[in-house]
Amino acid sequence: MEDLSKEFLQKTEKSKVRFDELTDLISRPEILADNREFKKLVKERNSLEGLAEAHIELKKLLQECESCENDFKSETDNEIKALFESEIQNLKTLIEQKVEDIKILLLPKDENDESNAILEIRSAAGGEESALFCLELCRMYSHYAEKCRWKVEYIDMSQTEIGGVKEATILIKGKGAYSRLKYESGVHRVQRVPETESQGRIHTSTSTVACLPEVEDIDFEILDKDLRIDTYHSGGAGGQNVNKVETAIRITYLPLNIVVTCQDERSQLKNKEKAFNILKAKLYDYYQEQRDSEYREDRKSQVGRGNRNERIRTYNYPQGRVTDHRTNLSSYDLDGVLNGGLDEFIDAMILKERTELLQQA
């Protein structure tokens, strides 16, 4: 165990040295004056903070343990020796726990985990019932964001005549939003009796969720000639401004035929800015997949074709049960889940992923 703990002390030493370098760099005037470089270095520093702290704590524990062992060897009083022996065992337990913590901190990290999250929610199989469930999912994620004290912005929403949602794009703004909501990508299945069902039969419908990180810096260029930008009248509430002014924006990235729309703001300029940010996220996701197919499943893989058998979670209304099929975790608090109680499912997915990575390490 001693050799293993010293090995992990060495593994974290570089992180501690780099963390100290970054702490010094971000305080320099020339870095403070360069906003882009400052953000980049702060992001790197934040990613190393846990390892740097773990290095300090492990080093302290090893020093205390070594000191106790030396005192134990030199002590002649049996009662005091017993106290030292107990303290040594306690320190060794703490060292083992710290090594396990470091193992987790050393696992590969998603560089976008601290980013805001963009959720795309779409109706799939089930027609109007699927669209109504999409509305429930939109509300569920809004409630979850509120619990996490994140900000919710509805970028675009296409509604049906009876109030369902065909598709919606939601921006969730908050530190670490993507790190948790990325596990919501996939097909969500609902089993319930629709309001329009006269004979009380249970229907099965599906909706799809895709989660993308909002990216600030991209390493590719978006050329004006590759964009078609259209303006149109916003739909929904908004008073006279909606009817008279073309504030909504539709941006089409021609090479890949990726279309992004935004009608959240009354200002055309603000809608254009938001739509462009969504486009950057989609292009980032696309090109990242091209560079490394194992990095992350692209949106098409996340949501499949929306068929019932490609589900990640089932919401069974008659039984009041929600089941996540990736972890086999079930909750009988359907109302609580729909009101934003998602932590249990997300934590289970994080644990599953972490366990698999530790087995591969």
Residue 244: pLDDT over 70: no
Query: Domain end: 79, 105, 131, which one?
Result: 105
Tell me if the pTM is above 0.85: no
Pairing of strands 151-159, 165-173: antiparallel
- Mean of the pLDDT values across residues 227-231? 87
3-state secondary structure string, 85-132? HHHHHHHHHHHHHHHHHHHHHCCCCCCCCCCCEEEEEEECCCCHHHHH
134 shares a domain with 190:
yes
Cite the beta strand spans of the chain per DSSP E.
Answer: 117-123, 151-159, 165-173, 186-192, 203-213, 227-232, 248-253, 258-262, 311-316, 321-324, 329-331
Residue 25 C-beta-side C-alpha neighbours within 13 Å: 16
What are the tens digits of pLDDT across the range 2-15? 677 888 888 899 99
Tell me the residue length of the chain.
361
pLDDT at 308 (0 to 100): 44
**Is 38 part of any domain?**
yes
Higher-scoring residue by pLDDT: 125, 18: 18
Q: Is the pLDDT of residue 264 over 80?
A: no
User: Closest Cα partner for 3 from 76, 96, 122, 74?
Assistant: 96
The mean per-residue pLDDT over the stretch 207-228 comes to: 84
Contacts of range 287-292, beta carbons closer than 8 Å, 24 or more positions apart:
287/220
Q: Residue 291's pLDDT is what?
A: 64
Domain final position from 76, 105, 134: 105
Residue 347 confidence (pLDDT)? 94
CB 328 within 8 A of CB 302: no
Query: By residue range, what is the domain housing residue 339?
Result: 117-218+299-360
Count up the domains in the chain and report the number.
Answer: 3
SS3 at position 275: helix
Q: Give a yes or no: residue 110 inside a domain.
A: no
| In-domain check, residue 321 | yes
pLDDT score, position 239 = 38
CATH number at residue 141: 3.30.70.1660
Write down the pLDDT at residue 24.
93
- Residue 263 or residue 186, greater confidence: 186
Checking phi first, is residue 358 left (phi over 0); if not, alpha (psi -120 to 50) or beta? alpha
Dump pLDDT digits (tens) for 161-211. 888 889 999 999 998 899 999 999 999 999 998 876 667 788 899 999 999
Domain identity same for 78 and 144: no
**Residue whose entry in the numeric block shows the structure tokens 């065992």:** 89
Residue 230 sits in the same domain as residue 355: no
pLDDT for 198: 62
The CA distances from residue 153 to 76, 146, 177, in Å, are: 69, 12, 13
Please tell me whether residues 149 and 46 are part of one structural domain. Answer: no
DSSP 8-class letter at 226: G
Residues 126 and 170 in one domain: yes
pLDDT at residue 252 above 60? yes
Mean model confidence pLDDT for the chain: 85
Residue with tokens 């590969």, as numbered in its chain = 108
Q: What is the pLDDT of residues 107-163, one digit of tens each?
A: 888 888 888 999 999 998 888 889 999 999 999 999 999 999 999 998 888 888 888
The per-residue pLDDT for range 280-316, each reduced to its tens digit, is 888 888 877 776 554 444 445 555 444 444 689 999 9
Count of CA atoms in the C-beta half-sphere (13 A) of 58 = 29
92 and 184 Cβ atoms separated by less than 8 Å: no
Instruction: Say if residue 265's pLDDT is above 80.
Output: no
Tell me if 206 sits within 8 A of 308, measured CB to CB: yes
| Rounded Cα–Cα distance for residues 269 and 247 (Å) | 8
**In this structure, are 208 and 306 located in the same domain?**
yes
- Residue 242 scores a pLDDT above 60: no
pLDDT in tens, 38-87: 988 888 898 899 999 999 999 999 999 999 999 888 888 888 889 989 99
Please tell me whether residues 95 and 125 are part of one structural domain. Answer: no
- CA angle, corner 51, sides to 45 and 54, nearest 5? 135
Q: Name the phi and psi angles at 67, rounded to 5.
A: -65, -40
List the CATH number of the domain containing 275.
3.30.160.20
Same domain, 241 and 138: no
Return d(Cα 345, Cα 359) in angstroms, integer.
21
Instruction: Kindly indicate the confidence band of residue 274, based on its pLDDT and cuts at 50, 70 and 90.
Output: confident
Residue type present at position 210: A
Model pLDDT, residue 305: 46
Judge if 239 and 253 occupy the same domain: yes
Assess whether pLDDT exceeds 90 at residue 219: no
β-pairing, 186-192 vs 311-316, is parallel
Residue type, 288: Q
Looking at 57, 77, 105, the residue that finishes a domain is: 105
